[in-house]
Amino acid sequence: MEYKHLPVMLNECIEGLNIKEGGLYFDGTLGACGHTCEILRHNGTKVIGTDLDTASLKNAEKIQAQFPGRLITVHDNFKNFTEISDNLGVKGYDGILLDLGVSSPQIDDRSRGFSYLAKDEPLDMKMNPEGQFSAYDIVNGYSERDLSRILKDYGEERFHAKIAENIVLRRKIKKIVTCGELNEIIDKSIPAKFKVDGHPSKRTYQALRIEVNGELDGLYDVVVAMGERLNKGGRLAVITFQSLEEKIIKSAYKYLEADCICDKSLPICVCGKKKIVNIITAKPIVSGKQELDRNPRAKSAKLRICERV
């Protein structure tokens, strides 16, 4: 399958990053390299890009050929940002971009199990194809309580308890192997009158994907670390696609912007915390109608930007 993906809010991201000629940038979610390519089109810029998906890194080889010596790719989780930067001897960036969530090529390749439109495909959902832990392990191995918890916490699924109960009942008879088998269980667990807001499996698949890939683990800490490693005037831009991610990004930005985090009851500051960034986006930037007509998957995207002081 050809690795194609429409970069979300491309113009807004590039404008928000305020690209500096000859600047050094970090793209923690390379995907199809849409955002990275646009950064590299500016004179002398360099990008360090990470991705867990080996298909993305293979695709990036074409971009490296177009911009010799200006794109370094690393097969790693962007959450290892500090270690990656230290290993490469990078003390500061002029801009950092994160486009969170799952990419269109991953969804469209139904063999990877990300799409609730898949049927006979295996329950996988690994962003890193070389990983060992998959959605199959969760669906067939987690306790009913833990299944219910992740569906509620990560999928915000109203019928989390019933879905978890029915998963456990079904797997007592036989292992749940395919996306179609899971979809059938979910469909039977949700009353007909509530099946009006998109596909009934949507929230469950989101929850499983987040759990498989640990998407929320360490997200706050790495965003803070990224803000701290920006050069003066450098910008951090993060695109989120669901409320759980957005809450974490808002909290991290708020911390970075704070000049003191002491208890308000104290007469003087004792924490020594200094303001690191200014938040550029008082409200998140969202996709316009023209983009949504072209790419409906951008509907839930929200872009937040801050700048190092």
Mind listing the pLDDT tens digit for each residue in 4-57? 667 899 999 999 999 999 999 999 999 889 999 999 999 999 999 999 999 899
Whether the CB-CB separation of 82 and 8 falls below 8 Å is answered with no
Q: What is the pTM of this model?
A: 0.90
Whether the CB-CB separation of 271 and 262 falls below 8 Å is answered with yes
Give the Cα separation of 8 and 140 in Å (integer): 35
Look-up of token digits 């969530």: 101
Q: Which amino acid is residue 112, in one-letter code?
A: R
pLDDT value for 2 = 53
Which pair of tokens denotes residue 47?
A: 């990008």
Q: Where residue 1 falls among pLDDT bands split at 50, 70, 90?
A: very low
Q: What angle do CA 251, 256, 259 make, to 5 degrees?
A: 115
How would you class 145 by CB atoms within 10 Å of its CB: exposed for 0-12, middle for 13-18, buried for 19 or more? exposed
Q: Which amino acid is residue 271, in one-letter code?
A: C
- For residue 259, pLDDT beyond 60: yes
- For residue 268, pLDDT beyond 50: yes
Chain centroid, CA 290 distance in Å: 23
- Computed over every residue of the chain, the mean pLDDT equals 92
Domains belonging to the chain, first-starting first, are 10-101+216-308 (3.40.50.150), 106-213 (1.10.150.170)
- For residue 266, pLDDT beyond 60: yes
- Percent of the chain at pLDDT exceeding 90: 76
Mind listing the pLDDT tens digit for each residue in 205-223? 999 999 999 999 999 999 9
- Percent of the chain at pLDDT exceeding 70: 97
Q: What is the DSSP string of 145-212?
A: HHHHHHHHHTT--TTHHHHHHHHHHHHHHS---BHHHHHHHHHHHS-GGGTTSS-TTHHHHHHHHHHH
Give the Cα separation of 71 and 33 in Å (integer): 10
pLDDT value for 102 = 74
Which pair of tokens denotes residue 84?
A: 């990656």
Closest Cα to residue 226, out of 188, 183, 255, 261? 255
Mind listing the pLDDT tens digit for each residue in 226-242? 999 999 999 999 999 99
